[in-house]
Amino acid sequence: MNKVVKNASEALYGIRDGMTLMVGGFGLSGLPENTIAALASSEVKGLTCISNNAGVDDFGLGYLLKNRQIKKMISSYVGENAEFERQLLNGELEVELIPQGTLAERCRAGGAGIPAFFVPAGYGTEVADGKEVRVFNGKPHLLEHALVADFAIVKAWKGDTHGNLIYRHTANNFNQAMAMAGKITIAEVEELVPAGELDPNQIHTPGIFVQRIFQGKDYEKRIERLTER
């Protein structure tokens, strides 16, 4: 099967209103910029987005929020987006906040075919509302269910035409787990090479998890919060 598509717009084929999307990245690191921008230019709406955060007001998922394309966010950290805050406080956006480690594991479990697991994080807080509690080694744990998505959208440093991916440093973040948990996974890469050119020992995501891949362009690679001495 030929997995290479021309661009982000072609890669988005099949995404419809009301679908659930996983979007890789942590803050603005490892963000699938080209695919998000193409999605923002589309007319798709009513999306549920699973992402560590919601970008910032004028970048990343902030574009989709501004366009009112997202109806629900499933996230861990959302403190850098004023539009997100406004929509949440006005009741315009559904939000499910999840402890960061739990979010990562729910994505990983979805890709590994594990339907649910127990974790101590969140016990005794609103996170525990309505969840089964069991005690292991004298400590209460919550039952958490795996997450999967109609589409997973990820960004990698290098990829090959078979869909094998290599992430660079911290840009790996949620991309690796989410690439496994999408029914259809779209990967945009900074450099696309022929199959066989990547060192098998360096591959983070095997191509079996990736259905569409393209080489992106014009990456801004913004710094979310610049700290100077």
For the chain, 229 residues long, the average pLDDT of each consecutive 10-residue run is: 92 98 94 96 96 89 94 90 91 95 98 98 95 98 98 98 97 97 98 96 98 94 79
Cα-based angle 146, 169, 41 (whole degrees, multiple of 5):
65
Q: For residues 33 and 158, is the Cβ–Cβ distance under 8 A?
A: no
198 occurs within a structural domain: yes
Domains in the chain: how many in total? 1
Report the chain's C-alpha Rg in angstroms. Answer: 18
Look at residue 176 in the predicted model and tell me its pLDDT: 97
Q: Is residue 49 part of a domain?
A: yes
- What tokens were used for 145? 């269910």
Residue 18: inside a domain, yes or no?
Answer: yes
- Domain interval for residue 29: 8-115+148-215
Q: Does a structural domain hold residue 224?
A: no
Residue 229 neighbours by CB under 8 Å, 6+ apart: none
Q: Note whether residue 191 is domain-resident.
A: yes
Residue 127 has what DSSP assignment? G
Q: Are 82 and 58 in contact (CB under 8 A)?
A: no
- Alpha helical stretches, state H, 113-218: 175-181
**pTM (2 d.p.):** 0.94
| Inside any domain, residue 110 | yes
* pLDDT value of position 122: 95
- Does 225 fall in a domain? no
Say if 120 falls within a structural domain.
no
Q: How far apart are the first and last CA of the chain?
A: 51
Q: How far apart are CA 208 and CA 130, in angstroms?
A: 36
The enclosing domain of 192 has a CATH number of 3.40.1080.10
